[in-house]
């Protein structure tokens, strides 16, 4: 057992690994006779040149785009060698060269290292390269053969494994080294570059028939490509390492568990409120706002008129034109997080060696944003009911694409994910049922029974958003494959082509009178619907597992859009108050209005910071660790939006209740989201349970 899977089984051993590495780096090489074991200066430059030569001499993959990206990465590394690398000063010494948990031997009963293996790459040089290389499991999963390469920062840090900043804190405290934030981007990119060279060599030997490792050797070619892609993703980030937690604290073994409990028990962090968008995000935000002002807002009335006509279940021709323009502007699929972008890139370009970064296909992969970065943009889209779908960032398609990216097979991705990424089709998510309380998903009754090479589905679903859309071709359905299994292992998710016999879309459901045509929220019956067994997602009994991976980002996207909806309400409210006169003065001059307006602003900003904090914790800790603050955001955002929009409607008088403004529709959407993706009561219960757990620690 190696790599990520091995690390996940070790619980708290990364603390021990940090201590062991620090001990190696503190060795006085002169005292033990190793002062001539290698040159200390210019270690990184010499290593980049060495592994570049290794790659050039061993690769035979014959893919010009990939080949060029690797050489460009080598060039970038040479241009960004840290100044500290040029001399044999502090921070240089004994380097292991292949330091990872796989190469450590642990005591059978005690949490300590009793041996370090594989010293063939050891020398003298820049020791921070060891630290970065040992940190790669946080960045990439080098064991995955399912095209899902995300490391801990994408999948969530497993229980017992410290977050990256805490691992580095332990190392820096013991080794007395400074915090590596200034050059961390280089060190991680270099580690990925070196690993890519090694894996490319293994793959080349496999093609020549002289490599050991069998299936893993064959897989190494894809892993080398993933390493290069991940390196470029990492380089493109604005910030790659946060400030050192508990600055100056020595994390001893005795205090480690205490430190972990304090960290996990707290829902907020020291960084709360320090949200400054990067230049990249600010530029995208500027483009997005201009697009909204130039194209979306002017078309809202036309979209509403079409949605109320006899042709409302057809697509307005301007919508497709705007989608094409959004692609051209680089405002397409912005929701795709970094790890999913890497998987999508592998899918789209595996057999398209002529494609390169910057091509039209590359635009399908978004801008490589974190959840936090996307929050600043998703908020802008939330200012209009119609905007998200123009940028291919609307629910439920975003969640469904994420499910297919994370859990779909190659065949499922090829058939359904690619056209979804391209915006050629749309999708629905069939989970809620009319006859049971679906806020507790264990109540679901829809059956999915195996019959040979098929599954047969029987049941009724409703509030299946998107199913009415004429472009909807695929549903992700949640049902039960085993009614006798443990209650959270009974459910499975399966892909259902809407044209399959037995799928009957019965009617659109109204939300406070809105049918949301042509998107719609459908009631659907499934009567002996036979779908291929290969349509099952991840496997039988994995439905809850998939749901948790899907709902975390999806819920947060709703909250982000609600911030935008409330901001739109504030703007319209202020414009109305400044233009309308009541009882001899402008509405804006009435003291009661001023007080209410101020309270709305206070609550909006509070909710915005909570949503951004939730996005930040989702990025750093994953769904499981961030579930408390995600639940808080899911409760706070719709309630805040309802209050702000209600105030805006009040200021507009009768017009605020009509369809002459967007306010009533925005309000209806916000009210729906106090139930959709889990009612307030469920989230409040989760928050309270976490609070009680923290008190018991």
493: number of CA atoms within 13 Å, CB side? 26
pLDDT of residue 129 exceeding 90? yes
The CATH number of whichever domain residue 623 belongs to comes to: 1.20.140.10
Distance CA(83)–CA(382), nearest Å, equals 45
Neighbours of 320 (CB within 10 A): 13
Does 477 reside within a domain?
A: no
Cα torsion angle, 514, 517, 521, 523, sign: positive
Q: Are 390 and 380 in contact (CB under 8 A)?
A: no
pLDDT of residue 64: 47
pLDDT of residue 252 exceeding 60? no
- Number of domains present in the structure of the chain: 2
pLDDT of residue 58: 72
Query: Which one of 131-135, 277-281, 367-371 scores highest in mean pLDDT?
Result: 131-135
Query: Which one of 6-15, 351-360, 365-374 scores highest in mean pLDDT?
Result: 365-374
pLDDT of residue 672: 96
Please give the residue that has the higher pLDDT: either 322 or 174: 322
Neighbours of 391 (CB within 10 A): 27
Distance CA(184)–CA(175), nearest Å, equals 17
pLDDT of residue 328 exceeding 90? yes
Q: Grade residue 216 by pLDDT with cuts at 50, 70 and 90.
A: low
208, 236, 264 - which closes a domain: 236
Q: Grade residue 412 by pLDDT with cuts at 50, 70 and 90.
A: very high
Q: Grade residue 265 by pLDDT with cuts at 50, 70 and 90.
A: very low
Q: Grade residue 213 by pLDDT with cuts at 50, 70 and 90.
A: low
pLDDT of residue 697: 65
Please give the residue that has the higher pLDDT: either 516 or 353: 516
Q: Grade residue 267 by pLDDT with cuts at 50, 70 and 90.
A: very low
Average pLDDT over residues 239-245: 65
Q: Which among 200, 123, 163, 170 has a CA at the least distance from the CA of 22?
A: 170
SS (H, E, C) 89-138: CCCEEEECCCCCHHHEEECCCCCCEEEECCCCCCEEEECHHHHHHHCHHH
pLDDT of residue 215: 61
Average pLDDT over residues 485-501: 96
Could you read off the pLDDT of 628-664 as tens digits, one per residue?
A: 999 999 999 999 999 999 999 999 999 999 988 999 9
Mean predicted lDDT score pLDDT of the chain: 85
Q: Grade residue 342 by pLDDT with cuts at 50, 70 and 90.
A: low
Q: Which among 487, 506, 611, 502 has a CA at the least distance from the CA of 552?
A: 611
> What is the CA 682 to chain-centroid distance, rounded?
23
User: Cis link prior to 396 (omega < 30° from 0)?
Assistant: yes
pLDDT of residue 676 exceeding 80? yes
Query: Which tokens sit at 308?
Result: 């109320």
pLDDT of residue 159: 63
Please give the residue that has the higher pLDDT: either 98 or 63: 98
Could you read off the pLDDT of 50-79 as tens digits, one per residue?
A: 998 888 877 654 454 557 888 899 999 999
pLDDT of residue 242: 65
Does 390 reside within a domain?
A: no
Please give the residue that has the higher pLDDT: either 42 or 522: 522
pLDDT of residue 107: 84
Distance CA(294)–CA(288), nearest Å, equals 10
pLDDT of residue 387: 97
pLDDT of residue 146 exceeding 80? no
Element (H, E) at 531: strand 521-532
Q: Which residues contact 510 (CB under 8 A, 6 or more apart)?
A: none
pLDDT of residue 262: 38
Could you read off the pLDDT of 656-671 as tens digits, one per residue?
A: 999 889 999 999 999 9
This prediction's pTM? 0.65
pLDDT of residue 245: 52
The CATH number of whichever domain residue 96 belongs to comes to: 3.90.1200.10
Full domain range(s) for residue 227: 5-236
pLDDT of residue 258 exceeding 60? no
Could you read off the pLDDT of 565-593 as tens digits, one per residue?
A: 999 999 999 999 999 999 999 999 999 99
Average pLDDT over residues 347-371: 61
SS (H, E, C) 512-527: CCECCCCCCEEEEEEE
pLDDT of residue 351: 47
Average pLDDT over residues 527-546: 95
Does 412 reside within a domain?
A: no
Distance CA(249)–CA(228), nearest Å, equals 35
Does 420 reside within a domain?
A: no
Which CB contacts under 8 angstroms, 24+ apart, belong to 247-256? 248/173, 249/169, 249/173, 250/173, 250/174, 251/15, 251/166, 251/169, 251/170, 251/173, 253/15, 253/16, 253/19, 253/111, 256/12, 256/15, 256/162, 256/170
Average pLDDT over residues 210-235: 78
Q: Lowest mean pLDDT: which of 60-74, 455-469, 537-551, 588-602?
A: 60-74
182, 211, 236 - which closes a domain: 236
Please give the residue that has the higher pLDDT: either 265 or 479: 479
Q: Lowest mean pLDDT: which of 202-206, 559-563, 683-687?
A: 202-206
pLDDT of residue 209: 73
Q: Which residues contact 274 (CB under 8 A, 6 or more apart)?
A: none
Query: Which tokens sit at 360?
Result: 């039209």
Average pLDDT over residues 508-534: 96
What's the DSSP call for residue 37?
S
Does 345 reside within a domain?
A: no
Does 138 reside within a domain?
A: yes
Q: Grade residue 171 by pLDDT with cuts at 50, 70 and 90.
A: confident
Does 125 reside within a domain?
A: yes
Q: Which among 548, 618, 621, 545 has a CA at the least distance from the CA of 157?
A: 621
The structure tokens 């349509």 sit at 535
pLDDT of residue 144 exceeding 70? no
Does 455 reside within a domain?
A: no
Calculate what percentage of the chain has a pLDDT beyond 90.
57
pLDDT of residue 449: 98
Measured between its terminal Cα atoms, the distance across the chain in Å is 33
pLDDT of residue 105 exceeding 70? yes
184, 217, 236 - which closes a domain: 236
Average pLDDT over residues 253-269: 38
pLDDT of residue 8 exceeding 90? no
Distance CA(643)–CA(607), nearest Å, equals 12
């Amino acid at each position: 057992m190696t790599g990520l899977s091995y690390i996940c089984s070790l619980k708290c051993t990364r603390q021990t690994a940090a201590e062991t590495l620090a001990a190696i780096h503190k060795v006085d090489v002169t005292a033990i006779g190793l002062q001539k074991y290698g040159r200390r200066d210019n270690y990184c430059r010499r290593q980049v040149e060495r592994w570049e030569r290794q790659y050039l001499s061993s690769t035979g993959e014959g893919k010009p785009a990939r080949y060029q990206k690797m050489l460009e990465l080598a060039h970038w590394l040479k241009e960004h060698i840290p100044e500290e690398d040029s001399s044999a000063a502090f921070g240089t010494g004994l380097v292991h060269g292949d330091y990872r948990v796989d190469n450590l031997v642990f005591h059978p009963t005690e949490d300590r290292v009793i041996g370090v293996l594989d010293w063939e790459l050891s020398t003298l040089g820049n020791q921070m390269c060891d630290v970065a290389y040992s940190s790669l499991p946080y960045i990439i999963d080098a064991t995955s053969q399912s095209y899902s390469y995300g490391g801990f920062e994408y999948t969530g840090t497993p229980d017992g494994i410290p977050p990256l900043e805490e691992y580095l804190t332990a190392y820096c405290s013991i080794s007395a080294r400074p915090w590596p934030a200034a050059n961390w981007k280089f060190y991680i990119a270099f580690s990925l570059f070196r690993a890519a060279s090694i894996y490319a060599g293994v793959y080349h030997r496999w093609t020549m028939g002289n490599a050991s490792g069998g299936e893993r050797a064959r897989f190494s070619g894809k892993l080398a490509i993933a390493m290069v892609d991940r390196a470029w993703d990492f380089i493109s980030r604005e910030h790659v390492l946060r400030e050192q937690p508990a600055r100056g604290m020595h994390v001893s073994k005795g205090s480690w568990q205490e430190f972990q409990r304090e960290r996990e028990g707290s829902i907020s962090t020291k960084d709360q409120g320090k949200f400054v968008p990067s230049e990249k995000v600010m530029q995208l935000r500027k483009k997005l706002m201009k697009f909204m002002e130039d194209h979306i807002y002017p078309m809202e009335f036309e979209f509403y008129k079409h949605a109320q006509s006899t042709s409302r279940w057809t697509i307005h021709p301007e919508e497709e034109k705007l989608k094409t323009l959004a692609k051209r502007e680089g405002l397409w699929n912005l929701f795709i997080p970094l790890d999913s972008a890497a998987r999508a890139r592998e899918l789209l370009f595996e057999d398209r060696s002529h494609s390169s970064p910057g091509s039209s296909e590359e635009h399908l992969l978004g801008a490589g944003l974190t959840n936090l970065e996307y929050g600043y943009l998703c908020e802008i889209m939330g200012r209009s009911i119609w905007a998200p779908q123009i940028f291919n960032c609307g629910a439920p398609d975003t969640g469904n694409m994420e499910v297919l990216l994370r859990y779909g097979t190659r065949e499922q991705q090829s058939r359904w994910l690619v056209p979804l990424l391209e915006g050629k089709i749309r999708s629905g998510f069939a989970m809620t049922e009319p006859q049971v309380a679906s806020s507790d998903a264990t109540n679901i009754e829809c059956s999915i029974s195996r019959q040979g090479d098929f599954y047969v589905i029987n049941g009724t679903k409703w509030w299946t958003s998107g199913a009415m859309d004429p472009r909807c071709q695929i549903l992700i359905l949640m049902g039960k494959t085993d009614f006798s299994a443990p209650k959270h292992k009974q459910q499975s998710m399966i892909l259902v082509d809407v044209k399959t016999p037995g799928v009957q879309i019965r009617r659109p459901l109204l939300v406070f009178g809105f049918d949301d045509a042509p998107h719609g929220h459908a009631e659907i019956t499934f009567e002996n619907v036979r779908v291929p067994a290969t349509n099952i997602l991840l496997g039988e009994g994995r439905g809850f597992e998939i749901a948790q991976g899907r709902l975390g980002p999806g819920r947060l996207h709703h909250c982000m859009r609600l911030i935008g909806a409330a901001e739109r309400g504030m703007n319209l409210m202020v414009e109305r108050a400044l233009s309308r006169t009541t009882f001899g003065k402008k509405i804006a001059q009435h003291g009661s209005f001023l007080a209410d307006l101020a309270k709305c602003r206070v609550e909006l900003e509070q909710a915005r910071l909570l949503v951004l904090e939730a996005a930040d914790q989702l990025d750093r800790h994953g769904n499981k660790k961030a579930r408390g603050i995600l639940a808080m955001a899911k409760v706070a955002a719709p309630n805040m939006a309802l209050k702000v929009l209600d105030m805006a409607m009040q200021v507009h008088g009768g017009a605020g209740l009509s369809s002459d403004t967007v306010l009533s529709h925005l309000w209806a959407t916000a009210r729906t989201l106090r139930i959709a993706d889990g009612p307030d009561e469920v989230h409040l219960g989760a928050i309270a349970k976490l609070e009680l757990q923290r008190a018991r620690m």
